[in-house]
Chain A
Amino acid sequence: MPQRQTPYDVCIVGSGAGGAMTAHALTQAGANVIMLEAGAWWDNTKDSAMLKFPYDSPRRGASTTERPFGEFDACIGGWQVEGEPYTKADGTKFDWWRARMLGGRTNHWGRISLRFGPDDFRRKSLDGLGDDWPISYNDLAPYYDKVDQLIGIFGSRENLPNHPDGIFHQAPKPRCYELHVKRAADKMGIWCIPARLSVITQPLNGRAPCHYCGQCNRGCMTNSNFSSPNVLLFPAQKTGRLTITVNAMAREVATDARGLATGVHYIDKATGKDEFVAAKVVVLAASACESARILLNSRSARHPQGLANSSGVVGKYLTDTTGTDVAGFFPQLMDHVPHNCDGVGGGHIYMPWWLDNKKLNFPRGYHIEVWGGLGVPSYGFGGGIDGMPQSRGGGYGKALKDEYRRYYGSTIGFSGRGEQIPNADSYCELDPTVKDRYGIPVLRFHWKWQDHEYQQVRHMQETFRALIREMGGEPMGDMPTRERGYGIANGGAIIHELGCVRMGATAGASALNANCQAWDCKNLFVTDGGPFVSQADKNPTWTILALAWRTADYITQQRKAGAL
């Protein structure tokens, strides 16, 4: 990293959805930007394992420590990153996924791209729980439109309340088993509509449309889905104004005597040396928890509780999406009809929240994702055959071999993804003693679900089991008990951490103002999931992108006005 005397206009920490969107918008507007990424370089067109067969590898697609979702998965990272521990308070169950590569989690995600709806920005006004956002849907709507058009998304116009339509490419037809799901959902009054994924089905901005191999998670060699390096960062580099420094582990935002940000200290992982990059504006987009960690580690005389933390809310109101899953076995799917049912790398249908919480014993909703079909046989295939309904209960030999064939493609699964309400017991803070291999103090997590979430997940379980029965199937596994939290996934496990650096209407109760600008430090911004005031029954990425673009436009406007 060459030392540079003149500061960059902007230093962005993190290259995922938020950081890349910010970099794209700022470089287009003429700013000289440097981006720090803690992981290594990644380019889908060269590095993807797309179209490999499991037998091309002795592992047959099994996971590795740095690829917990299988060796062909694009995302390098995981629940444990060597040399970078995190700790948990007694009794806390929390899993923290970190991506360590260019593009961060945009290499990992399921491409489900849902706009938050108008109600999602004013939940406290509607039911008294949590807090309202300092902005409304109307503030973000033009940015959602711009994201749709720049990055691309398929879907269908439905005019459903609180599930705003976007500017969609044609959605792919449902797969056969998805039609089977839809028939039952229609009968039960559950909205079941085409999925909304950031996969393009027509050419867009020089990118080829989807080729339907079903492997979005491996990284798309034709850039037909959204991951930030190929869709945002490489185009931004073409402006000549974006410098990307990889293997740069950010430690602390530096501030001057006036309390303003002057740049970022980071560790060059190749040399182990402490480095500094000077910038007139600092944008954190390292992920909700990692950005909070950097702020809490940025202590100075002017900012004794850490930067942007005079309110004490940094690290607080951490939320994740609630989740539980039920798989069903379907006798009518046995003895499959051989066909290619890959489609795009995700469900072609989904079920947005369809009920009125006023008539339920929990306050917020969830959506349902569906999985099944004839996947490529990989490591894990046939596991647990002895526990399959209507099977011989194990065995060996020719009869078993036939049974494996007969059961292939005979399950369909449902995953509920719902809204957690922020609470005072779920947060992260600096561990007082533990440091990572770079000497940086690590996070300690505290986590508690409330009854709201337990009742919601219980409703998911009951609904999925009813759906499976309506479809003529048999749920696999018993309904989890209250003691098992009705099957709720650990906090962090759905990898939708939001909050920790929340925005708000007043300085005393939030870290950032309505422009995602730190109340305490006017040239510091956050553009990842950190500013979110609440979750929704929708995945967060599209809102991270829209909010980041809006924040970038504000930075541009303030720079032009000479305010930064």
Chain B
Amino acid sequence: MRDKEPQPERSTGSTGSTGGTRGTGGDVTGTGFARRDVLRILAAAPLAVFTIACEDVDRAAQHASDSLAQAAKDGVPYTPQFYTAEEFALARVLADLVIPADERSGSASDAGVPEFLDFLMTAYPDMQEPMRTGLAWMNTASQSRFQKAFVDCAPEEQARLLDEIAYPKRAAASVKDGVTFFSRFRDLTASGFWSSRIGVKDLQYMGNVPQTAWNGCPPDALAKLGVSYT
């Protein structure tokens, strides 16, 4: 069965919908709830006949994890399943521009984001067309401005183009397609980075472990909000 564009994991209060914004999920703050109206989007989709077998997706998942393990082991480069070599290089450059390495953690590509994106495109085919046309838009735009492919541009040139499309509220109507693509790409990169080992460690996430007792939140977390248990 072919999966539609994915939604984030949600724990179920009493189940059902959550409020919605847009894009690739939208769980800015890691509450476990999508701020996207899952239902609205599903309701809008026709009762599709899915043609891609579950096994294909399972194979893609296996490929992604095997390749990453292999690459980590002996430096064999990852072979993308969806992206062309040129697209994959561009996706890597863009992902690292969205989330670069800093003093606290590595970059998007250090966290395996390009491979994650390639997996998503294979597992959720509805995402392919916007990705492909968006990457092409980036090159068309850089050609028209700098007569070069985006990956060949100087960092200042890349920044000039990104500045045009990275702030939806103040972007020009003429670059609307670029804005739409980049907002989506930024969201996907964030998904891939922050859910990686590197990202989880960077956020100092401390949960997902069995505990013998629940004693409430620690004093400094309470103090931050000016609340207490007494």
Contact = CB atoms under 8 A, between A and B. Distances in A.
Interface of A: 51, 53-55, 57-66, 68-73, 79-80, 82, 85, 93, 95, 97, 108-110, 112, 172-177, 179-180, 183, 210-217, 321, 323-327, 332-333, 336-347, 369, 371-388, 392-398, 400-401, 404-405, 407-413, 415, 417, 476-477, 487, 489-490, 493-496, 539
Most buried by A among B12, B210, B227: B12
A394 B190 contact: no
Contacts of B194: 377, 381-382, 404
B130 interface: no
Given A55-B195, A325-B18, A327-B19, A383 B190 contact: yes
A150 B108 CA distance: 50
A236 to B, nearest CB: 25
Interface size class of B (residues with CB under 8 A): 35 or more
Contact of B30 (A73, A82, A409, A413): A409
Contacts of B124: 62
Contacts of A371: 11, 13, 31-33
A72 B8 CA distance: 10
Summarize A's interface: helix, strand, loop or mixed.
Answer: loop
Contact of B98 (A338, A400, A494, A539): A400
B79 interface: no
A384 B60 CA distance: 27
A210 B228 CA distance: 24
A95 B17 CA distance: 11
Main SS class of interface, B: loop
19 contacts: A53-B197, A62-B25, A65-B3, A72-B9, A112-B13, A176-B224, A212-B214, A214-B11, A216-B11, A217-B10, A375-B30, A375-B32, A380-B9, A381-B195, A383-B36, A384-B35, A404-B28, A408-B30, A412-B31
Nearest to A182: B227
Contact of B32 (A332, A376, A382, A417): A376
A489 B228 CA distance: 35
Most buried by A among B3, B102, B196: B3
Contacts of B220: 337, 339
Given A176-B217, A371-B32, A394-B166, A377 B199 contact: yes
B42 interface: yes
Contact of A377 (B12, B13, B200, B224): B200
B124 to A, nearest CB: 8
Nearest to A176: B217
Contacts of B172: none
A375 B31 contact: yes
A394 B183 contact: yes
B77 interface: no
Contacts of A54: 9, 195, 200
Contacts of A323: 16-17
A366 to B, nearest CB: 11
Contact of A68 (B13, B32, B42): B42
A384 B23 contact: yes
B144 interface: no
Contacts of B50: 65, 82
B225 to A, nearest CB: 5
Given A371-B13, A371-B32, A380 B24 contact: yes
B186 interface: yes
Interface of B: 1-4, 6-19, 21-36, 38-39, 42-43, 47, 50, 57, 60-61, 64-65, 97-100, 102, 116, 119-120, 123-124, 162, 166-170, 183, 186-187, 190-192, 194-197, 199-200, 202-218, 220-222, 224-225, 227-229
Contacts of B213: 212
A379 B9 contact: yes
B29 A173 contact: no
Given A388-B28, A396-B166, A494-B16, A380 B34 contact: yes
Given A380-B34, A477-B21, A394 B186 contact: yes
Contacts, number: 379
A332 to B, nearest CB: 6
A413 B26 CA distance: 14
A383 B98 CA distance: 13
A383 B7 contact: no
B29 A383 contact: no
A493 B199 contact: no
Nearest to A211: B210
A175 B225 CA distance: 11
B217 A477 contact: no
Contacts of B123: 58-59
A493 B17 contact: yes
A339 B18 contact: no
Given A64-B57, A70-B10, 10 more contacts: A62-B8, A340-B207, A371-B33, A378-B32, A383-B23, A393-B168, A396-B162, A408-B203, A487-B19, A496-B15
Given A58-B119, A339-B218, A379 B15 contact: no
B28 A61 contact: no
Contact of A70 (B9, B30, B202, B214): B9
Contacts of B215: 173
Nearest to A114: B14
A345 B11 CA distance: 7
A382 B187 contact: yes
A80 B47 contact: yes
Contact of A382 (B57, B190, B216): B190
Contacts of A65: 1-4, 50
A221 to B, nearest CB: 9
B1 to A, nearest CB: 5
A384 B200 contact: no
B11 A172 contact: no
Contacts of A180: 225, 227
Contacts of B221: 176, 336-337, 339, 341
B172 to A, nearest CB: 14
A393 B209 CA distance: 35
Contacts of B14: 109-110, 112, 321, 369, 415, 417, 494, 496, 539
